[in-house]
Structure 1
């Protein structure tokens, strides 16, 4: 094991610092001293106790990996430059791509928005198609093997167990390689595996982008493999737009799966549909590292809790009325003028003046009905500016001191559990939180839990309408209807809370989910 940096490998590649470590090796940031470029160097660790024959087999396999990857020249594939042997171990020299893996992105930032997941799927599919055209199967497509850059570029890496059609297998008979959660059923059954197996793994990867884990992950390898062979994925937590592509890729029998061309068409259809957001692009969301909706860190806090949130990207829409609230009706009263004569007993002499015709300003309603394309509706305040994301819709009053949000969560949690998680998340960004009560209420015939509190906005906050240092008062109400949970939030500058309470109750109470 190399533990110190600045060592030269094969007299050419300088190790600078360790980037990551796993069961199969260590990845270093390095420098090619001959070509003067930064590289990534994978130090392949061979298990202790290998026989000379097994060690030779591993070296051959590593050399084959380099030959395999060297055949691919594709923008969505990590390029392999060289493979050398040093200290009895193989070292693979690769393109240095300084991006987090999709697994890391989902764990830290939450589930990908639908269109971002579809774009990632198209890029990985393009890489796989290029590999398949030259007879290469990846065999280990999964979130941890896909890097995702700030510019949205997805890069497939680690062809370490890739096979070339026609080559003899270098693995032991009966040995299944790859990550169990993302293996295709035919590979588990030790049947012939072709390009369809990589497409299955792509489907499982896209599912994980939505909910944070493989559709068959059960926490135990054998239970996972059993689920993979005998159970169907649970699509209740998946946004409907992703159902066709996932159901097409995750069919048990390879001959029943959609092929690469049809998969590309289905992914393109998602991207061509009406955008759910255009306010922030993918690079800006990556820079922020947080979602525009509250609670995207929920998935990072508890891997079993799965959210499908906006990711911070929204499309703005404006309401017709410029009013901030409900303007008062005003009438112009009849006017009278009088002259007063100075006397002990004043007398008033009326001067006739024309009586103007009363004019009435049209009364704008305080709220207007708004129906989501996902089937829920709410009476939102008139004149507030609205924004919509994948599963988070919100409105902000024009002065920025009041905010309404509706968040959809694809989770198996009770309203009380959701509120507890909301409290934990708030503590990470807010200051001086004062709990003003938590109660169980009935909302449209459904049990809900409501939490009222005050808080001060910190300097770091994922909500763009929030002003650092400002003091707010808020109500959040959580309820579950069918397979979807909803969190309704109403936030107002604390000093304005009393005069906004009635409107808040009217708006929150109007939320309805269509049958």
Structure 2
């Protein structure tokens, strides 16, 4: 049985709102009644296909990994407060943090200053060294699993797939765990995860922060794996101690890779003599303009930023979720997904990964349109998507990004506070106006469209705003399929592209079929 909002666990933790999900876990913002504080609670979802032994193994692994994170107590590792049981399943109670992932910071600001990267790198290296000293291997260090808090502190999240040296009997074998683009070469050869493989992933993460591009991510899984195995990191040029540290961490032979001690010396030099750790700076507010010379990465304002603004979620939790390489990608894309199911906080995909049938496909009943592909997403829903758009996953949302102009299509599965979608949209708009976080916001329309959709409730919200000094246009269709089952389908484009993409936009929204 899955949890619902307002449920109380162990007469102490009152669940308030869902803030993240994956195939084997959901994360809730909750209130700790005993200590009168806000916490993040990870709900472990055990699939119906698991037998009793498998369910016990998953539950034992979740408890073990939560205790592992707590054991490594460190200011740069998300804190585990408690581990409880309810419905015969483990629940992990963690600190509740606000901020943005490193991936999001870089996407919005472009490559970061070398001193800042070095300072954050030192903090992350310290966190990993502490974990390694406890026999804990992270196994999935990547920009999505590094949170930059509102106070400017970096916190390493997602120890949910960590292993402990003295508990290997609980770890299943034969699976590749982690995000392919940030996996060390030896992991691709089925070697066990080690501290050295964590350091490789740290190097790839720092390279992303320094260049604005993932050093080995390519358009397909096979190309990504080939790049990790034989190619040099993309985008990395020049000299200096930061680049020397990154290159040393990305040596393909783990026996020749620099160790934590050498990395620390180089990062200290990059951060400035005697600094120890650098001065971290918080990410800019959503919609702020990057400093001169910083690339805008297509200039899109991602829907998770809009979600925060609109009040669908007021804060971002540092949530530890299971992450795995998804074998269903079949060579067409790379998905870093919560519990390996193609979803989860900070997850992303490149080059597809969805099942598709184009115009004239075998199933004659599926919607079709020239230049668009009927997509049956791993999340279960179906939708028409422009044929060359690229799939990724971030939190509770699936995105399809235009490779050219910053437009994107999003399907968000986040919970809504009410089944009345028209009232839901009005409340969102009130939050936008009150917060002032969407400069130049102008409503074009808010409309109850329940009668024309056949869903339990549906409302559309169309507006424009200015992000990074550029006019953007958004149309969101909020849907209650049945009480408690919600979707938001959003199309966002730069204003100059809006009219040009009208046919594709209408086709996408009208074709949506819920899971």
TM-score bracket, normalised by the shorter chain, equals: 0.5 to 0.7
CA distance in 1, matches of 2:62, 2:90: 7
Tell me the TM-score normalized by structure 2. Answer: 0.55
- CA drift of 1:239 comes to 7.5
How far apart in 1 are the matches of 2:201 and 2:249?
Answer: 8
3-state SS of 1:90 partner: strand
> Over residues 412-470 of structure 1, what are the superposed CA-to-partner deviations in whole Å (9 max), with x where a residue is unaligned?
xxxxxxxx989xxxxx999xxxxxxxxxxxxxxxxxxxxxxxxxxx99877xxxxxxxx
> Structure 1 residues 161, 169: CA separation in 2 closer, same or farther (over 3 Å shift)?
farther
Task: Determine the C-alpha separation between the residues in 1 that align with 2:238 and 2:297.
Answer: 17
Judged with a 3 Å threshold, the aligned counterparts in structure 2 of structure 1 residues 302 and 214 are, in CA distance, closer, same or farther, namely farther
Pair 1:36–1:239, CA change in 2 (3 A): farther
Aligned to 1:440: none
Q: Which residue of 2 aligns with 1:119?
A: 119
CA distance in 2, matches of 1:283, 1:115: 14
Note the alpha carbon deviations across 1:259-298, whole angstroms, 9 max, x for none: 11111111111111799xx9x9824856884322166433
Partner of 2:100, secondary structure, is coil
Look up the match of 1:206.
206
Give the structure 1 partner of residue 290 of structure 2. 291
Taking a change above 3 Å as real, the CA distance of residues 281 and 197 of structure 1, as seen in their structure-2 partners, is: closer
Q: 1:80 to 1:172 in 2, by over 3 A?
A: same
Taking only aligned residues, the RMSD between alpha carbons, in angstroms, comes to: 3.5
Name the structure 1 match of 2:43. 43
Tell me how far apart the structure 2 counterparts of residues 164 and 459 of structure 1 sit (CA, whole Å): 48
Q: Within 1, Cα distance between the matches of 2:188 and 2:109? A: 32
Q: Is the 8 A contact 2:108 2:290 kept in 1?
A: no
Count of equivalent residues: 313
What is the CA–CA distance in structure 1 between the aligned matches of 2:22 and 2:208, rounded to whole Å? 21
CA 1:55–1:235 in structure 2 vs 1: closer, same or farther (change >3 Å)? Answer: same
- Could you report, residue by residue, the CA deviation over 1:322-346 in whole angstroms, capped at 9, with x for unpaired residues? xxxxxxxxxxxxxxxxxxxxxxxxx
Counterparts of 1:299 and 1:240 in 2: how far apart (Å)? 29
Residues 232 and 281 (structure 1), Cα distance of their counterparts in 2 relative to 1, 3 Å cut: closer
Task: State the secondary structure of the residue aligned to 2:204.
Answer: helix
Look up the match of 1:226.
226
Instruction: Write the distance in 2 (CA, Å) between the matches of 1:20 and 1:139.
Output: 21
Structure 2 CA distance for partners of 1:184 and 1:295, relative to 1, 3 Å: closer
Between 1 and 2, higher relative CO (CA 8 Å, sep ≥ 6) is seen in: 2
Shift of the alpha carbon at 1:203?
A: 0.4
Contact 1:82–1:92 (Cα < 8 Å) also in 2: yes
Paired with 1:6 and 1:302, the residues of 2 have a C-alpha distance of: 32
Give per-residue Cα distances to partners, 1:214-269, cap 9 Å, x unaligned: 31112333332232122221345677663201110001111111111111111111
* Shift in alpha-carbon separation, 1:128–1:459, aligned structure 2, 3 A: closer
Whether 1:178 aligns to 2:195 is no
Contact 1:77 1:155 in 2 (8 A): yes
8 A contact 1:110–1:300 mirrored in 2: no
Tell me, in whole angstroms, the C-alpha distance in 2 between the residues paired with 1:107 and 1:288: 12
Distance in 2, matches of 1:242 and 1:210, equals 9
> Aligned partners of 1:58, 1:65: CA distance in 2, in Å?
11
List gaps (5 residues or longer) in structure 2: 303-403, 407-437, 441-464, 470-515
Q: What are the residue-to-residue correspondences of 1:334-345 with 2, within 5 Å?
A: none
Structure-2 residue corresponding to 1:188: 188
Q: Match of 1:282?
A: 281
The Cα of 1:59 is off from its aligned counterpart by 0.3
Alpha-carbon distance change, 289 to 266 in structure 1, aligned in 2, over 3 angstroms: farther
Counterpart secondary structure, 2:201: helix
Corresponding residue SS for 2:167: coil
Give unpaired runs (5+ residues) of structure 1.
304-419, 423-427, 431-457, 463-515
Q: CA deviation at 1:143?
A: 1.0
Query: Aligned ranges for residues 209-358 of structure 1 at < 5 Å?
Result: 209-236=209-236, 242-272=242-272, 282-283=281-282, 285=284, 289-293=288-292, 296-301=295-300
The within-5 A match list for 1:83-98 is: 83-98=83-98
Structure 1 residues 213 and 170, CA gap change in structure 2 (3 angstroms): farther
5 Å matches for 1:291-440? 291-293=290-292, 296-301=295-300
Q: 1:142 corresponds to which residue? A: 142
Give the Cα separation in 2 of the matches to 1:265 and 1:220.
Answer: 36
The 1:219–1:287 alpha-carbon spacing in structure 2 relative to 1, beyond 3 Å, is closer
- Deviation string for 1:374-428 (max 9, x for gaps)? xxxxxxxxxxxxxxxxxxxxxxxxxxxxxxxxxxxxxxxxxxxxxx989xxxxx9
Q: Quick check: 2:152–2:280 contact (8 Å CA) kept in 1?
A: no
Q: TM-score, structure 1 length as denominator? A: 0.55
- The residue matched to 2:170 in structure 1 has which SS? coil
Alignment check: 8 A CA contact 1:102 1:146 kept: yes
Per the alignment, residue 16 of structure 2 pairs with 16
For residue 58 of structure 1, report the CA deviation from its aligned partner.
0.2
1:82 positional shift: 1.4
Counterpart of 2:81 in structure 1 is: 81
